[in-house]
Amino acid sequence: MNFRNFDGNHGKDWIAKAREYMTGLAASHMPGVSVNIVVFHYHEGSLQVLLMRFADTPFYMLPGGYVRNEEDLDHAAARCFREWTGKQEP
């Protein structure tokens, strides 16, 4: 289960999916520890920031994810950067 694949349903079904997702993370990730990254881009004289939009909602978030048990915060942030952008860190 991945939050990016949620169908935009914000009722009880969404809550059940979120609980299922969080339960699956418990064994491999540190509970309650996450990182968010801010990706700046300068394009045609304008500073831009990467934001992710929740499916079928007006809500945005910074890209990020949960920290795995074997990771430190720097490695978790680098992994999230790769996962969200498909690029190696600069």
CA distance 65 to 37: 9
Give the pLDDT confidence of 29-74 residue by residue, as tens digits: 777 788 999 989 899 999 999 898 888 888 898 989 889 988 999 9
Averaged over 7-17, what is the pLDDT?
Answer: 59
The pLDDT, as a whole number, for residue 53 is: 87
pLDDT at 2: 43
In the prediction, which pLDDT does 76 show? 92
56-76 b/e (C-beta count within 10 Å ≥ 16 → b): eeeeeeebbbbbeeebeeeeb
Indicate whether 25 pLDDT > 90: no
